[in-house]
Amino acid sequence: MTDYLDTPSGRRIAYNRLEGEGTGVVFLGGFMSDMAGTKAVALEQWAAAQGRPFLRFDYSGHGESAGAFRDGCIGDWAEDAQAVIETLTEGPQILVGSSMGGWISLLMCQRIPARVGGLVTIAAAPDFTEDGFWAGFDDTQRKALIDEGVVMVPSDYAEPYPITRRLIEDGRDQLVLRSPLALPFPVRFLQGTADTSVSVETAMQLFDHAAGDDLRFTLVKGADHSFSTVECLKVIEAAIFDVLARI
């Protein structure tokens, strides 16, 4: 059942929370995705079978949460995630971040490290507003972004992405690959070779950049960006079990 949290920033965030015992798991979804996605629901079922706490939620402007998607930015969505974790969970959590959720989970590792017991990323997309969208824009798109405030970018999933000037400019304040990135807890990075949204090179850049004593990288041949086949879901579950066993 969906509940709602009114955050200190004044945004109304939809969430589903599962009560249980032991270390909890929080799922952080991707750009223009929602908590009803295959991975989020499957992991909730996995947690329920164990009697483990689990939390999934929609960032503002996503899914059932209030707000318009094009009004948001990485900073807003990171504030949403922090409010949800601090308000709705107790103690250190295992963060499972998919795509943009990988970037946001890394921001949580920096901002509320005491609330992070471990991390699993799935096709993590840190700094994608700068290194993906902005770097890929031509002069015409960059001018349109500055003059008109938004550029529509084709998507592999459904409607084109509205990429706003605010998203790009705010993203520059949230970058995690330009400064030291300490991850002093078990971390498992998962990536597919057939991912057309996040390259293996980007995944390796994150792995090489991060600092920690228990970091592992798993590359799944043929897996795409959704990473949501039955086999991929088993890989995610195994990674969470591995993290739980080490904390």
Helix ranges, the chain (H):
38-50, 74-88, 100-111, 128, 135-136, 139-148, 165-171, 200-209, 230-246
Helix, strand, coil fractions of the chain, as percent rounded to 5: 40, 25, 35
| pLDDT for residue 161 | 87
CATH number at residue 204: 3.40.50.1820
Residues in the chain: 247
Is the residue at 9 inside a domain? Answer: yes
**How far is the CA of 152 from the CAs of 170, 211, 220, in angstroms?**
18, 36, 31
Q: Two tokens at 111?
A: 């901002």
The domain of 193 spans: 3-126+178-246
Model confidence at 221: pLDDT above 70? yes
- Assess contact for 203 and 191: CB atoms under 8 A: yes
Is 213 inside any structural domain? Answer: yes
Q: What is the pLDDT of residue 1?
A: 84
State mean pLDDT over 159-188: 96
State the DSSP code for 113: G
pLDDT at 86: 98
What digits encode the pLDDT tens for the residues 116-140?
Answer: 999 999 999 999 999 999 999 999 9
How far is the C-alpha of 33 from the C-alpha of 101, rounded, in Å? 10
- Do the Cβ atoms of 72 and 60 come closer than 8 Å? yes
Q: What is the count of structural domains for the chain?
A: 1
Mean per-residue pLDDT over the chain, rounded:
96
Confidence of residue 155 (pLDDT cuts 50, 70, 90): confident
How large a percentage of the chain has pLDDT more than 90? 96
Nearest residue to 31 via CA among 123, 120, 107: 123
Exposure string over 23-51, b if 16+ CB within 10 A, otherwise e = bbbbbbbbbbbbbebebbebbbebbeeee
In a domain, 136, yes or no: no
Distances (CA, A) of 85 to 34, 156, 239: 17, 30, 21
pLDDT at 157: 67
- In this predicted model, what pLDDT tens digit does every residue of 43-87 receive, in sequence order? 999 999 999 999 999 999 999 999 999 999 999 999 999 999 999
In a domain, 116, yes or no: yes
Is 38 inside any structural domain?
yes
Check residue 159 and give its pLDDT: 79
Residue 197 covered by a domain: yes
Q: Is 38 helix (H, G, I), strand (E, B) or coil?
A: helix
CA angle 45, 112, 74 (to 5 degrees): 80
Q: What are phi and psi of 119, to 5 degrees?
A: -145, 135
Chain-centroid distance of CA 58 in Å reads: 11
Q: What are phi and psi of 175, to 5 degrees?
A: -60, 140
